[in-house]
Amino acid sequence: MLTALNKGLEKWMPLITPTSVMIGLATAGALSPLTGWVPWIFAFMTFTGSLSMNFRDMQRVLLHPLPILVFMFVLHLVMPLLAWGAGHLAFPNDPLTLTGIVLVLSIPTGIVSFMWVSIYRGHTALTLSMILIDTLLSPFIVPYTLSVLVGAKVEMDPVGMLTQLVWMVVLPSILGMVLNQLTRGKVKQVWSPTLSPISKIGLAVVIIINSSVIAPLITEWNRKIVYIALVCVVVVAVGYLLGWLAGRLLRLDREMAVCMLFNCGMRNVSAGAVLAISFFPPQVAFPTIVGMLTQQLLASLFGYLFFGRRGAAKSRELPQEVGVSRTG
């Protein structure tokens, strides 16, 4: 029953994500008191997603570190600076929207990028290593990036963000990887069929609560809201383009180029939304909601554009835990 439920959630997740946003907006802030549960739910989701990772694959990949170094350069230097520049040009008198856009482009790559890399038959070991390294470094990179780029304009708590990222992302990831290593992969076979559907339901709950928090700000779909959404989509799309370009410049083979495209383009927007709701005014969270709504569509578009239908028409059977979050 749980396996059937998980497959059903996998199939309908592209619809569940926007539906969850609409439900949250319809509550008009009534679910805001539940925000204290969100980090705990997200920690569970992170743990479930990390059951497929192990340190052995990362060790092999680190023997050839150039792709990972380029990936980190694009993800955490080029893209945040691009977001900062675009935010200044588009919203010169709106520091909260600027902060939200920079936050979206500062958070780590999403676990769901593994799913897309698998569909297009990319380098899965490199992908898992990128996710692992980026996740472990995120408590230091994200607060520092925000402090440097927007800290002078918006009051923030970098120590609080670091602490929350450690126990919400890093510790669950390490726990999942250690269990996978100690059991030689058996834990994901035993636990994932039960945990995966629960974590997908948890994702929907997180999206509903976060959307409910920003609902009072969206009383009507005016030009400003549409303008913010368009700017966010364009800036996020550039991440995919830069990932593809990096693969071309490095003359990577197709497997590594697929990995670079999706890992540079996708972000853990669910984590970004949790941080935005926890440490900033609700306006900062709006770009992360836009990311939740559009990230999968952009991944599908750029995957087809640069790598055609190869591997996409008949994807390989994916580990159940990989689908922990269709939004990143």
Kindly report the CATH number assigned to the domain that includes residue 13. Answer: 1.20.1530.20
How many domains does the chain fold into? Answer: 1
| Burial class of 83 by CB neighbour count within 10 A (0 to 12, 13 to 18, 19+) | buried
Measured CA to CA, the distance from residue 259 to residue 126 in angstroms comes to: 7
Residue 57 lies in a domain: yes
Q: At which residue do the structure tokens 């926890």 appear?
A: 278
| Burial class of 64 by CB neighbour count within 10 A (0 to 12, 13 to 18, 19+) | exposed
Listed in order, strand segments (DSSP E) in 212-310 are none
Residue 327 lies in a domain: no
- Taking Cα atoms as reference points, which of 19, 79, 115 lies closest to residue 316? 115
Q: Which tokens go with 44?
A: 């569970």
Rounded to 10 deg, the angle between the 269-279 and 286-307 helix axes is 170
- Is the separation of the CB atoms in 123 and 116 below 8 Å? no
- Per-residue pLDDT tens digits for 133-164: 888 888 889 999 999 998 766 777 778 888 88
Measured CA to CA, the distance from residue 281 to residue 146 in angstroms comes to: 15
- Per-residue pLDDT tens digits for 203-262: 888 888 888 887 777 765 677 788 888 999 999 999 999 999 999 998 888 889 999 999
Residue 261 lies in a domain: yes
Q: Name the DSSP class of 27.
A: T
List the domain range (segments joined by +) for residue 33.
2-321
pTM of the model: 0.78
Residue 122 lies in a domain: yes
Residue 328 lies in a domain: no
Measured CA to CA, the distance from residue 89 to residue 74 in angstroms comes to: 21
Measured CA to CA, the distance from residue 29 to residue 209 in angstroms comes to: 8
pLDDT per residue of the chain (328 residues) written in tens, 0 to 9: 767 777 777 667 667 777 888 898 888 778 888 888 888 888 888 788 778 777 776 777 777 788 899 999 999 999 999 999 999 999 988 899 999 999 999 998 877 787 778 778 888 778 878 888 888 888 889 999 999 998 766 777 778 888 888 888 788 888 988 898 888 888 888 888 888 888 888 888 888 888 888 777 776 567 778 888 899 999 999 999 999 999 999 888 888 999 999 999 989 887 888 888 888 888 888 888 888 778 878 888 898 888 875 544 444 433 333 333 334 5
Q: At which residue do the structure tokens 């923030």 appear?
A: 156
- Is the separation of the CB atoms in 171 and 203 below 8 Å? no
Residue 326 lies in a domain: no
| Burial class of 275 by CB neighbour count within 10 A (0 to 12, 13 to 18, 19+) | buried
